[in-house]
Amino acid sequence: MSAARAKILEKHDDDVVIVSAIRSAMTKSKKGGFKDTRPEEILMNVLKHAYTSTKLDPTLIEDIVVGNVLPPSGGASAARMAAIAAGIPIETPITTVNRQCSSGLTAVNQIANSIKAGQIDIGIGAGVESMTFGYGPGAMPDNYSELVLETQEAEDCLIPMGITSENVAADYNISREAQDTFAALSFQKAAAAQKANLFGPEILPIRVKQVSPDGGKQFLVDHDDGVRDGVTAESLAKLKPAFKKDGSTHAGNASQVSDGAAAVLLARRSVAKKLGLPIVGKFVAAQAVGVPPRIMGVGPAFAIPHVLKKTGLELSDIDFFEINEAFASQALFCCEKLGIPWKEAGLNGKVNRWGGAIAIGHPLGCTGARQIATGLNIAKHDNEKVFVTSMCIGSGMGMAGVFVNEQ
């Protein structure tokens, strides 16, 4: 064991610890389990469970940060409504944050930093997205400044995400075949994990009302409904490219458009111990970096080494990685660039052991928090200690976080 790994496994009273981490199911936008459920309702449920499941007095929650990329009317009001409806006192403040696909991790990082700085003792970092209600042309501004667009890399921030995937594939010679193999593995791992009910401990079943001709019926949303069994590289090879006629990115090797929420309750270790709260993990560090916007998907390949350098860790110190699968092209590139093996079948590989966003879904603001819940669940199941979560970020960034399992 390296000295750096041994150091982060130590327990100190001023550590930032995770008391609970929970997520909703990830459901298909416009046709899945949450197609008729507003984002504040999904968020309300995970916020409430985050503190009630640990028997924490909600008056002790001192701040909440919620990642949200496509918020109606600015977003902060809907998050505030969700917190109040969840039984959290009006005295507890809340804010929303948007760092695109890393918003959920950014929210957790902000709460962790507030604890480290001594501003608060207990807080919640969360993420939510309803791509059913927030995604599409309505989320786009009518125009941009011509003066700003004269800077090429500023204009590159407007490149559609699918085209950035094609750019990564072209720049780094990532074949369609390799992308489809990566995507098929994601589906196969997620399907096997779902069949074995491995996601059960991290998912909060939520009862919602779905619109129907008879006036609406109650429906329990308790599983990721985008996971498909039986997907192979051969079946994916039949799909047409989605963004360029001769491209390699398509609906089957890109992340799904999804709805969902997740919440992570954090505290200073000394306070958690004093209150008798469960401690399931430890927040170690997180870092964000910038990369060229036209190949935004390479972000994790640079964010992961950055956070490891800051903590003194080596790749070999990490038991497994959760790297968000915005597109197979970029996730595969990041694994290859870092030397992380990705071709293992089965549920005990080095990256995305139970599948990733290609199979599970990617509600933009939620994923960064969802990965923490999934990572802790995997670590407990597999008796692992140290894991890294990471994601690329639209407009050209990457973010990564280091966590320790203490279950």
Q: Is 335 a catalytic residue?
A: no
Report helix angle 76-85 to 39-52, nearest 10: 40
Question: Active-site residue among 334, 335, 366, 392?
Answer: 392
Report helix angle 103-116 to 367-382, nearest 10: 80
Question: Active-site residue among 49, 250, 362, 381?
Answer: 362
Using CA atoms, how far residue 21 sits from 1, 275, 392, in Å, is: 27, 18, 22
Question: Active-site residue among 101, 334, 335, 366?
Answer: 101
Q: Is 392 a catalytic residue?
A: yes
Q: Is 101 a catalytic residue?
A: yes
The neighbour count for residue 8, using CB atoms within 10 Å, is 20
Q: Are 264 and 51 in contact (CB under 8 A)?
A: no
| Rg of the Cα atoms in the chain | 20
Indicate which residues carry an active-site annotation.
101, 362, 392
